[in-house]
Amino acid sequence: MTTTNAEYYHPPILYHEKAAARVDPVLQPYLQFAGEQSERCLCALLDGSTDGTIRTIVARTLCGGARGRHAHAIETDDVRADVVLQLLGRPRRFRRHRNPRRDSS
């Protein structure tokens, strides 16, 4: 008696299926709503202490060299904006991969 691999085949679990089981509760409001309301939830996550933490980390990372105060402030703001864009992109990509039909409308 021979067995085939088909009996033991399990379809691969995609990244978003694995991650769906581990969604941070802080992201639940963002994932529950759609459109502008979900974007407000996402932006609210980056306000307040989170924004302060981002600013502190960026400033500490960039203050290694001797720079003028004004040039340093402009550079810090540019890097901070890039960090915020990257942070906003991660949950958006997760949402698109989690439910592509919901966000395509």
Q: What does the pLDDT look like over 25-46, one tens digit per residue?
A: 888 888 899 889 999 998 898 8
Mean local confidence (pLDDT), 54-61: 86
Q: From CA 77, how far away is CA 55, in angstroms rounded? A: 8
Helix (H, G, I), strand (E, B) or coil at 10: coil
> Which residue would you say has higher pLDDT here, 96 or 99?
96
Contact indicator for 75, 62 with CB cutoff of 8 Å:
yes
Domain span holding position 18: 5-103
CA quadruple 24, 26, 28, 30: dihedral sign: negative
Indicate the number of domains in the chain.
1
Averaged pLDDT score across all residues of the chain: 75
Write out pLDDT tens, residues 18-27: 555 578 888 8
Q: From CA 97, how far away is CA 18, in angstroms rounded? A: 12
> Which residue would you say has higher pLDDT here, 95 or 2?
95
pLDDT at 103: 46
Q: From CA 72, how far away is CA 93, in angstroms rounded? A: 32
Contact indicator for 101, 26 with CB cutoff of 8 Å:
no
Please give the model's pTM, rounded to 2 decimal places.
0.61
pLDDT at 49: 85
